[in-house]
Structure formats: C-alpha cells, structure tokens
C-alpha cells in the first residue's frame, strides 16, 4: 500500500498525518528541541501502531515523507547559527548595517515600533569585523568595469578564516546581472581551503540564492539563508541517515513557503521558514473544493502561535510584499501568511508599566515546561490553564488521555498570578484570559482579510490546530463568518496540508524590460529578451525535477511577473497569460493583464500609462501534479446523536450566560455523519476539543468534517 507522510514541527507539538491508501492516522507528540529526530521517529512509531505495523514495515511502504520544520527559523530567533563572513564589493561593506530607512521597524511588534525612544536596530547576524570588501565592479548592465583581483580575495579570505569564519556569504554588486565575479570568489575559497582543511563550510552566492534587484534585500536573503543553513543541514542529514537505517531509501522532501516542496539537497534554507502555515493554507483550499468554497480564511491555533492565511476566488496567489524573517527583510517569494503569539501555551501576565493591565502572549510556555497544568514545572498561567479552569478541557482526556492535567495547579496559578493582584476571583481571571486571546485572534483575522479589500462575512472560516475548534466560536464573534469548518484532521492540519501539495518549484530572476513606451506608442519588438529569461529558468526547473525522478512531460509551467508603470517604485505581481512572446498581440495581452491587476488593486483612476509599462522580475512556477488523498463519503445517519455518544455532563462556563451551566460532553468517535448538536455542548476527540457556544449548531457531515453554523 502506498503511504504518504506529512510532518509539521511546531513550537509545542510535532504533528504527523499519514495516508495509507485512504486509511489515515494522526499523531501529536511533544517537540524535542534537543534532537528533532526523537519526536519525528516517536510520531512514526505511534502511527505505525495504529496500523498494527512495526515502524520499519510502515517505512518500507512509504512513497513520500513531506516535512515542514522550524529548525532554520529557530536558529535565527535563538541566534545559534554559525559565525559567518561576508564578502562584498569594496565600498559597500556597510550595506546591511545602513539597511533601508525603516530597518529598525522590520519584524517589530506594533507596540515596540510605537516606542521610538527605546526601539533599536536588531543585532546583526554578521558583526562588522566579519565583513570584507574586495576590489571588483560590475555595472547595472552586467558589464565588468573592474576585473576581480584574486590575490585581494585571498588576503581578505585569510582575514575571515583567521577570525573564525565557519561559512561565507558572497554578495557582490549587480551580481544577479553577471555572476562571474561571485563564482570566482567561490573558486578561490575552494582552492585555498578545501574540505580536507576546514571541513564542510557553506559558500552561498547571492546570485544563486536571490538573483533579484535590490542590494539590501538580496544581501540579507543570502545572509539569512547562510545563517539557517548549518543547523538545518546537520539536523536533516542526520535524519535522512536514520531513515535509511530504518528502511526508507528515498530522499526526505521539505515543504516550502512557496507552496511546493523539494528534496533536502535542492532546498534553500530560507524557503523552509513558515512552511507549516503555508501547507495549512493549501490544505484548506483542498478541502474547500469539497464545498465549492472559493473564499476561505485559514486559521491554525496551536500551542505557541496562531497562523492565518487567505484563499480568495479559489486561488492562493498572495505573496508577501515585504517578507521579513525575524527582524530581517528578505526577497523570498513566499505565500503570505500571518502569525502572532497566541496559542494554548500563551502566557497570561500583568503589564505593570501599563498599570497592571492583563495581557496574554506573545510569550509561550512551549512544550517544556508547558502550561502549569502539565505538571512539568511550569509556573506561569496560560490559555490552556484558563480553558481547564473554565471546564472546556477534560484534565483526564488531554491528548486522548496520554497526558493527565492538574486542574488544581492551573487554578492556583491563575489565582496567585492574575486574580489576586487584580482583586478578582480565579474564574473571572480565567474568563478574561480567554476573552483577551479570542479578541486578539479575531482582530488579527479581521485586519488580515479586510485590508485585502474583502468582507469576512463572505468567507468560510477554517479552524485548525489543536486549540482551533475550542476557540473558533470565540474569535468568530469578531468576524461574523456564517460557517466554520473543522476537519477531523484539524489537530495536525499543517501536516495534512503537506500531503496534498504538488511538487512545486519556484525560479526567479530580475530582468528589466520595457514592454510599452508611451511617447512613441511602441511595444517591445525584441521578443528574445523576454523569451531567453523564461527559457533559462525552464532549464533550471528541468534540471532539478529530473534529479527528483520526473520527466519533462510531467512538468506544468506558470509564469508570474513583477510589473509597474514607468517611474513608479512599487511593483504589482501579475499572472502572465503566456510563457513566451511571438508577436505584438502577445505583448498587448501581457500589458492588459497588468492593467487589470493594477486597476483591481488601486482603481482604474490610478493608472499611469504615460510612464510606460515595465517588467522587473520573472517568477517561473514549475508544477508536477501528485496523487492526493481522497475523502471518503460516509452514509448519513440520524440527526440526533445516539445516547452512547454522550460521555458525561460537565459544568462549563459560557460567556453568553456569564456563568457555569451543566453541559453535555460528546465523544467524537461515537458520532456518525449527519449528527446535529446544538450549543452549548462540548465534543471530545483524541487530539482536540470542539466547544460549541450557545447560538451555534454543529453538524458532522458526510466527510466527518465538523461544520459550525450560526443559528438563524
């Protein structure tokens, strides 16, 4: 039986979804930061047990393992990357320190950016004494103005090695136009210091990592990639070795934040940042097709963060305008998602500088020590602790009973740290914690959707993550979305999303072309300028996909272009109606596609054809469709759940009553398709809890997806 595995390594839990020819298994295990392979194999072992197989037997059946990871991102956040040396063009050694005008604000929170008296630029990933400039110069057309001096390179290289460089980022001016000088620098490094001398040290060229215009963005993308590279390489190479030892001979596939995936050996580290939420967005689009839902708000509330993304008109096409990794502006062509510090492990605390104002997050208790109720040494009250005190979570059935929670400790921590200083009781404090976290998530979703020009009420809301079905009614109060969909795979939705991705690679290059000149009413006549760039990117795609075992006829290409009116600074990304130009009609069609996109974004009145129309950057998307999971339709039974599905009655706090009420507790596995449950009610599944607030009705549909709808 062909098996596909999806993994999503989170801040608190590592999620695993396995499709074994239509038979599925989902597993959540605590993330083991000291060695990610420990939680990885623990998840596989647990999943194998659900199929009554040994782990080795399950791996032998496995066709593909898709892995989204935070290893590289953690290296940036925790500053655990290697000591790097930066080699740049002489005279431009301070480029990354000067940055852009608002470099101090990149990646900063709203509150931090308001505090202008205290805010500071982030500490650089490469200190100034590890930056050298070499004598060379290529102009903006790619012409060599000053040949590179190899002896100068050797001297500067020796300086960096003497200071302990463990990797090199090579970022020369205009190298994306002509990479010859960067390639020469790499040749010198490899000649002077082969692996037998210094071991395996990354040499990363900006012309290969981000061949796009803009020195600061290109430099920082290369540096961030180099900084993430070492930890990612060490962890994943070891993981692949252990997989081979256990009978899985195929390469591990990494999920990318572009919506695709590649082998570890062909992956740039920056593409792994935020890959899990992006996979979740594609997973929601995949399930949305079952309901012909074209407008979707994806949300994932885990233990550490709350992620969200948007599918509009059936397309996941929104790329981050200023992709920031931690505090660094990059040029990664990533699908735009939003993430905030709001999850089950988010810590509730009193902001004394604001007069003892209750705040929740962004700090998280993580998996270790975790919430106070975990009984693992945590002392700070969290959202999970509040949910237990309010009766939403069953302390004896957390993770299906694999973890027992201590309600008394949770109550005591909330009483001591929050309630007592505020002069209220623990129940009121727990309610305020839940209210704040729900409002925080709801407001962020609203901004994310409304600022794109959409009305949330015209969308379907996907509530995913271990805590999503518990809090979805709470944060939907700020959105008024009429329908919420919770998949039976919601607790591991990022991992599920990874299994429904196609093999999808992105290749990009900046190449300036003037498609239309207003003064002479002239359209581009030299079509080879356009076609040669596309053909170059296609050759790169064929090379990579051939190494992954695909034939040329399997590949589907899509072209996107960064375009703008002449003299304008900002670009708009346009889906090109064609891959090559062969006549004036093709050029006119491309110009019209840009005009349509621009009019949609800024209104037709903002058009500026007098400036002409320019192309600045090419993005070629190469897709190889894969076989995907098929949802089985179950027979529809009675709308009234069987009495055996009711586990118990528990006292639960509901905001609508501002009090506890006896509430029926249902067992998810005992429900059948067609069952309808009116709120207030609680449904307990192995890896999540569904909290149905008063005013909502829950239906388990034919795909065993849970549908929350507002009662009319």
Q: pLDDT digit string (tens) for 275-306?
A: 889 999 999 999 999 999 999 999 999 888 89
**The pLDDT of residue 691:** 97
Nearest to 660 by CA among 472, 391, 312: 391
Choice among 355-364, 481-490, 525-534, 698-707 with the minimum mean pLDDT? 355-364
**The pLDDT of residue 363:** 85
What region does 536 belong to: left with phi over 0, alpha with psi -120 to 50, or beta? alpha
User: Quick check: 183 and 148 in contact, CB under 8 A?
Assistant: no
Specify the higher pLDDT residue, 694 or 233.
694
What six digits make up the tokens of 361?
Answer: 């997050």
Within 518-626, residue ranges assigned H as helices are 528-547, 584-602
What CATH number has the domain spanning 3-75+234-272?
3.30.420.40
CATH topology of domain 503-624: Dna Ligase; domain 1 (3.30.1490)
What is d(CA 391, CA 396) in angstroms, rounded to the nearest whole number? 12
Instruction: Decide if pLDDT at 405 tops 70.
Output: yes
What six digits make up the tokens of 580?
Answer: 């090559």
Instruction: Decide if pLDDT at 677 tops 70.
Output: yes
SS3 state at 286: helix
Choice among 66-70, 129-133, 320-324, 534-538 with the minimum mean pLDDT? 320-324
pLDDT 10s digits, 622-666: 988 888 888 888 999 999 999 999 999 999 999 999 999 999 999
Domain residue spans of the chain? 3-75+234-272, 80-218, 277-342+437-499, 503-624
pLDDT 10s digits, 385-401: 999 999 999 999 887 88
**The pLDDT of residue 238:** 81
What six digits make up the tokens of 231?
Answer: 């930890």
What CATH number has the domain spanning 277-342+437-499?
3.30.420.40
Residue 200: pLDDT band with limits 50, 70, 90: low
**The pLDDT of residue 73:** 79
List % helix, strand, coil for the chain (3-state, nearest 5).
40, 25, 35
Are the folds of 277-342+437-499 and 503-624 the same?
no
**How many angstroms from the chain centroid is the CA of residue 607?**
33
Choice among 357-366, 441-450, 490-499 with the minimum mean pLDDT? 357-366
Entry pTM: 0.88
Residue 198: pLDDT band with limits 50, 70, 90: very low
**The pLDDT of residue 55:** 92
**The pLDDT of residue 165:** 93
pLDDT 10s digits, 60-82: 999 889 999 877 877 887 788 88
Instruction: Decide if pLDDT at 11 tops 50.
Output: yes
Instruction: Decide if pLDDT at 513 tops 90.
Output: yes
Residue 514: pLDDT band with limits 50, 70, 90: very high
What is d(CA 145, CA 139) in angstroms, rounded to the nearest whole number? 6
Mean per-residue pLDDT, 234-261: 86
User: Quick check: 243 and 59 in contact, CB under 8 A?
Assistant: yes
pLDDT 10s digits, 23-59: 899 998 888 878 888 999 999 999 999 999 999 999 9
What six digits make up the tokens of 268?
Answer: 């740039």
Nearest to 398 by CA among 12, 98, 1, 660: 12
**The pLDDT of residue 342:** 87
What is d(CA 653, CA 427) in angstroms, rounded to the nearest whole number? 9
CA atoms 18, 24, 25, 31: torsion sign: positive
Choice among 274-278, 336-340, 426-430 with the minimum mean pLDDT? 336-340
**The pLDDT of residue 180:** 96
Nearest to 86 by CA among 141, 131, 23, 125: 131
Q: How would you classify the pairing of strands 460-464 and 296-301? A: parallel
Q: Enumerate residues 6+ apart whose C-beta is below 8 A from 532.
A: none
Specify the higher pLDDT residue, 561 or 317.
561
pLDDT 10s digits, 138-188: 999 999 999 999 999 999 999 999 999 999 999 999 999 999 999 999 999
Cβ count within 10 A of residue 36: 23
What is d(CA 219, CA 182) in angstroms, rounded to the nearest whole number? 13
């Amino acid at each position: 039986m062909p098996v596909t595995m999806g993994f999503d390594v989170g801040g608190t839990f590592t999620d695993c979804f396995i499709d074994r020819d239509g038979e599925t298994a989902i597993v959540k295990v605590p993330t083991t930061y000291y060695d990610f392979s420990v939680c990885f194999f623990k998840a596989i072992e647990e999943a194998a047990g659900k199929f009554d197989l040994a782990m080795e037997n399950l791996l032998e059946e496995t066709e593909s393992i898709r892995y989204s990871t935070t290893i590289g991102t953690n290296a940036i956040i925790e500053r655990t990357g290697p000591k790097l040396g930066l080699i740049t063009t002489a005279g431009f050694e301070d480029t990354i320190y000067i940055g852009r005008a608002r470099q101090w604000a990149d990646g900063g929170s709203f509150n931090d950016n308001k505090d202008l008296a205290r805010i500071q630029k982030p500490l650089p990933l490469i200190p100034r004494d590890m930056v050298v400039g070499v004598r060379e110069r290529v102009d903006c057309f790619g012409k060599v103005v000053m040949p590179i001096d190899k002896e100068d390179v050797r001297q500067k290289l020796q300086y960096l090695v003497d200071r302990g460089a463990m990797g090199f980022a090579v970022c020369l001016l205009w190298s994306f136009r002509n990479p010859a000088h960067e390639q020469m620098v790499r040749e010198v490094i490899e000649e002077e210091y082969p692996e037998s001398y210094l071991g395996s040290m990354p040499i990363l060229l900006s012309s290969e990592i981000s061949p796009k215009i803009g020195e600061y963005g290109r430099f920082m993308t290369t540096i961030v990639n180099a900084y993430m590279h070492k930890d990612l390489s060490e962890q994943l190479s070891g993981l692949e070795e252990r997989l081979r030892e256990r009978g899985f001979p195929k390469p591990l596939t990494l999920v990318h934040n572009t919506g695709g995936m590649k082998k570890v050996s062909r992956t740039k580290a920056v593409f792994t940042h935020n890959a899990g939420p992006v996979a979740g967005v594609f997973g929601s689009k995949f399930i949305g097709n079952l309901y012909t839902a074209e407008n979707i708000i994806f949300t994932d509330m885990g233990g550490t963060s709350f992620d969200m993304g948007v599918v509009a008109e059936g397309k996941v096409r929104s790329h981050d305008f200023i992709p920031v990794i931690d505090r660094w502006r990059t040029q990664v062509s990533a699908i735009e998602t939003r993430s905030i510090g709001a999850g089950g492990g988010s810590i509730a605390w009193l902001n004394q500088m604001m007069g003892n104002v209750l705040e929740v997050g962004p700090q998280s208790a993580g998996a270790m020590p975790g919430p106070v109720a975990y009984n693992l040494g945590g002392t700070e009250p969290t959202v999970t602790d509040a949910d237990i005190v309010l009766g939403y979570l069953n302390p004896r059935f957390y993770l299906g009973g694999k973890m027992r929670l201590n309600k008394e400790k949770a109550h005591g921590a909330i009483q001591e740290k929050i309630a007592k200083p505020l002069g209220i009781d623990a129940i009121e404090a727990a309610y305020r914690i839940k209210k704040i976290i729900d409002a925080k998530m709801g407001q962020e979703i609203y901004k994310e959707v409304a600022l794109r020009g959409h009305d949330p009420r015209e969308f379907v809301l996907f509530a995913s993550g271990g805590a999503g079905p518990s809090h979805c009614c709470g944060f939907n109060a700020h959105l008024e979305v009429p329908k919420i969909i919770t998949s039976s795979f919601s607790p591991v939705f990022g991992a599920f999303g990874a299994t429904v991705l196609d093999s999808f690679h992105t290749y990009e290059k900046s190449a300036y072309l003037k498609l239309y000149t207003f003064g002479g009413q002239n359209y581009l006549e030299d079509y080879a300028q356009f076609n040669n760039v596309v053909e170059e990117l296609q050759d790169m795609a064929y090379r990579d996909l051939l190494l992954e075992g695909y034939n040329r006829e399997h590949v589907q290409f899509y072209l996107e272009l960064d375009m703008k009116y002449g003299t304008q600074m900002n670009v708009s990304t346009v889906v090109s109606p064609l891959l090559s130009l062969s006549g004036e009609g093709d050029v006119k069609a491309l110009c019209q596609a840009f005009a349509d996109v621009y009019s949609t974004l800024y209104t037709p009145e903002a058009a500026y054809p007098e400036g002409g129309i320019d192309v600045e950057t090419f993005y070629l998307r190469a897709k190889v469709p894969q076989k995907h999971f098929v949802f089985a339709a179950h027979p529809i039974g009675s709308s009234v759940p069987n009495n055996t599905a009711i586990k118990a009655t528990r006292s639960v706090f509901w905001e609508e009553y501002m009090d506890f009420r006896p509430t029926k507790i249902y067992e998810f596995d005992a429900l059948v398709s067609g069952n309808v449950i009116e709120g207030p009610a609680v449904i307990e599944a192995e890896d999540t809890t569904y909290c149905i607030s008063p005013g909502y009705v829950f239906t388990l549909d034919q795909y065993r997806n849970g549908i929350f709808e507002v009662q009319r």
